Structure 1
Amino acid sequence: MLICMNLAVAIPRNRIRISTIKSVQSQDSQPMDHPKRVVVCGGGVIGVCTAYFLTKKGASVTLIEKSTIACAASGKAGGFLALDWCDGGPVEHLARASFNLHRSLSQELNGTEAYGYRSLTALSLTVAEESKTTVSSSSSATLPSWIDGPTHGPKTIGTHETTAQVHPQLFTRTLIENAVEKYGVKVVIGKLERLVVEGGKVESVILESGGVVDADAVVLALGPWSNKLELLSSRFRVSGLKAHSIVLEPKEANAITQHALFLSYRASNRRTPLDPEVYPRPTGEVYVCGMSKEEEVPDDPEEIRGNEESIAMLKRVAKTVSSHLGEEGVKVEQACFLPCTDDGVPIIGEVPGVKGCYVATGHSCWGILNGPATGAAVAELVLDGHSTIVDLKRFSPARFVGRTKA
């Protein structure tokens, strides 16, 4: 386990380090110029990035997580990063800022060694199970030798200047390790029950165990669990898109090159093509994901299991794309929930009517990419009253005021 033993994550899930909570409450007796007390709820990439940048700016931060750091989508995602794939859309500036922040964080935290940060080439291609053709003559890209299945029309859609990757679980945990060791972030394992709001301002966080953490500000980075908190679900909807993935150990790891694959996959028993993705990792493993559909999000992230037919299809995709990716190499079968909003735009900003309460969620499949810029922007918003790294107006939860929820 990468998390340091002085973190509360080493404590069983049904226990709370009450001394940690008391130490936060005891700051009430300090002078008014003490660092602003901020509680971040959620130990995924958005919450961890927010805690990291808050504490770098001088805040006294407690991060509350129900299970373990990066236990859900932040530990089971692909970790793909793109500079310009969101251009022309509402998250263009957020994505570009975050792509560049990933690069600088890698330099700061030795990301190549710590969490597999590296640039790569991204290819799109068609795979048809019933075809025997490998590459069409009109192809604009040359396939590496390990991609030896029935493929058509490969195209280069990302270069070493515009696309990169991280191992998402290692990235998130490296960030929280540094936040704890260098800047004193406190991590508490416990389930958020509710917020105490007095006179329209957040005052404290109540845990299911009965623990109370006083706060000058609270950031709710709950991902698809945002709908479980009435304070948020009464204002907007965040649904969960269940995405499946497998992790394989290839037959010849040295043969696998730095090429991310975005497939149009034509299965012999399906009328419409699928869109799985394949990401070789610096660890020597290969990650394959896809087969997404909206489902009810369970209360406990540890209860999430993949659907058998979806996992079986991903295994089929892997071995069809490459003879190096046989089913015998599958090490992990998993699923996670991506947080999605009704308008497809992340929700980042102060909750209307609740001063000092902020939300950051709804990043869908781009959570790992947009985590750093979201965290840095929220840190500025909480401590300075506005964000300079990116304009957060279009992400404000105030846009849902007066709307009828679907």
Structure 2
Amino acid sequence: MDRNRGVGFVTVMAGGGSSTGNVRVRKVVVVGGGIVGASSAYFLAKRGVEVEVLESNGVACAASGKAGGFLALDWNDEGGNPVGSLSRASFSLHKELARDFGPDAIGYRLISAVAANLPENARHEASKASYLGYVSRETVIGTTETCAQVHPEKLTKALMRGSSATVTIAKVIGINHSDSKITSLRMEGGATRPIADDEMVVFALGPWSNLVSKELGLPTFYGQKALSMVVPTDPPLSPYASFTNWRGKSPEIYPRADEAYVCGFGESLRIVTEKPDEVVPLESGERQLRAFTKEILGSMGDNVPVRACHLPLAEDGIPVIGSLESNGAENGVLAAGHSCWGILNGPATGKVVSELICDGEISLIPKWVVSSISPARFASRTRSR
């Protein structure tokens, strides 16, 4: 089968999709309740597919609930980056979702972006409505034509509600497979979740993708710990995402309607083993983030906790999205490794997953991009095992 066509044998029990074989998909089990899992559930449901989500802690409990939500149309275009096409498609889908759910419900709005060289001790006065006194307007790097923002947790939960998926709190720790099919999911505590012939599995596990990737001959997935604070602001800051240069570091500020998301001082890549609710910042990173926030926002952030989450990255730095047929699991799909662009690219990833399962091929993005992000690029590892 042409790898660009993905899961070519699938037909859907209800709601459209083309028939290319004799297996009917009644249900899809999505493993992971972050932005990618929720987007997959939402777009599958729009095609009439029944969805069950297995999530270890809760919807948007990890990076999808702690991300900044900055959206950029064309920031991934350079150098033939395959993510560029995905980002452009997803930027448009975010606009559609804002119309469907209502902008306020998901925190969507158009914003501009600036590169800011902040002076030492640039303390912000809380009485001022703008922090742009420290930002040169000559450093604008994005306009409302190319930049927007969304509230990640609100969007993820809206997508999940919109999917009407059954959400089960259960941690998947591995798979059982034979005859090139996933036969069951192994759960924490010793239970298994059988996978019927008319079911498929979508793995959207982010930095926890190693729970299943090695059994499929896929490379290692990593997490990069990111730190953030959500600071209430009254009055609101001006709607400019600020990418700063501060004491040799690059913290960022994303003003929202009534708060400011401040992030930076992340840590090195590592294999993630802790649970989402066990991820905590290192003391050094927390100290730096608090110092930066104090200088820019004054006392507004004094009692705000510093949060930590892991941004997921594949071994080669490119997202892994597509059928697992070439990796020994024809009834499986993987969608992971989106790095800092997970919120931006979540909706397009979910739609790609729905097209793959419902149509047997992907039309949202060019075929060369489909090949570039497919798990099939690692298939040789499976064959050599």
What TM-score do you get using the length of structure 1 for normalisation?
0.80
Gaps in structure 1 of 5+ consecutive residues:
1-31, 133-142, 267-272
Mapped partners of 1:37, 1:204: distance in 2: 14
1:297 pairs with 2:277: no
In 2, distance between residues paired with 1:384 and 1:231? 28
Return the alpha-carbon distance in structure 1 between the equivalents of residues 313 and 53 of structure 2.
23
**Distance in 1 separating the partners of 2:104 and 2:238:** 18
1:81-131, CA deviations, whole angstroms, 9 ceiling, x for partnerless residues? Answer: 001111122211100000000000110111x22121000111111123268
Alignment of 1:315-330 (within 5 A): 315-320=290-295, 322=296, 324-326=297-299, 328-330=301-303
Q: Aligned-pair RMSD on alpha carbons?
A: 2.4
What's the CA shift string for 1:179-227, capped at 9, x where partnerless? Answer: 11xxxx1111101133332311223333234252434211100000011
Paired position in structure 1 for 2:243 = 262
Alignment coverage as a number of residue pairs: 347
Letter in 1 for 2:338: H
1:306–1:333 CA contact under 8 A, matched in 2: yes
Distance in 2 between residues matched to 1:327 and 1:312, nearest whole Å: 16
Q: Which moved more, 1:353-362 or 1:363-372?
A: 353-362
Query: Does the C-alpha gap of structure 1 residues 230 and 238 become closer, same or farther in structure 2, counting only changes over 3 Å?
Result: closer
**Stretches of 4+ aligned residues off by more than 6 angstroms:** none
Unpaired runs of 5+ residues, structure 2, are: 1-21
Q: Hey, what's the Cα distance between the residues in 2 that align with 1:163 and 1:382?
A: 31
**CA deviation after TM superposition for structure 1 residue 248, in Å:** 1.2
How far did 1:342 drift? 2.2
SS in 1 for 2:53: strand
Taking the aligned partners of 1:305 and 1:296, their CA distance within structure 2 comes to: 15
Instruction: Report what 1:288 is aligned to.
Output: 262
Structure 1 233/312 Cα, relative in aligned 2: closer, same or farther at 3 Å? farther
Contact 1:125 1:154 in 2 (8 A): no
Question: What residue number does 1:349 align with?
Answer: 322
What's the CA shift for 1:326? 2.7
1:202 and 2:182 are equivalent in the alignment = yes
1:119 aligns with one of 94, 110, 119:
110
Q: Structure with the greater relative contact order (CA < 8 A, sep ≥ 6): 1 or 2?
A: 2
The amino acid across from 1:195 in the alignment is I
Change (3 A) 1:53 1:80: same
Taking the aligned partners of 1:81 and 1:315, their CA distance within structure 2 comes to 25
Q: Hey, what's the Cα distance between the residues in 2 that align with 1:124 and 1:303?
A: 33
Aligned mate of 1:97, from 76, 89, 105: 89
Structure-to-structure mapping, 1:6-405, within 5 angstroms: 36-88=26-78, 89-110=81-102, 112-129=103-120, 145-149=130-134, 155-180=139-164, 185-209=165-189, 210-215=191-196, 216-229=199-212, 231=214, 234-250=217-233, 253-266=234-247, 273-282=248-257, 284-293=258-267, 294-320=269-295, 322=296, 324-326=297-299, 328-351=301-324, 352-391=327-366, 392-402=370-380
Identity %: 40
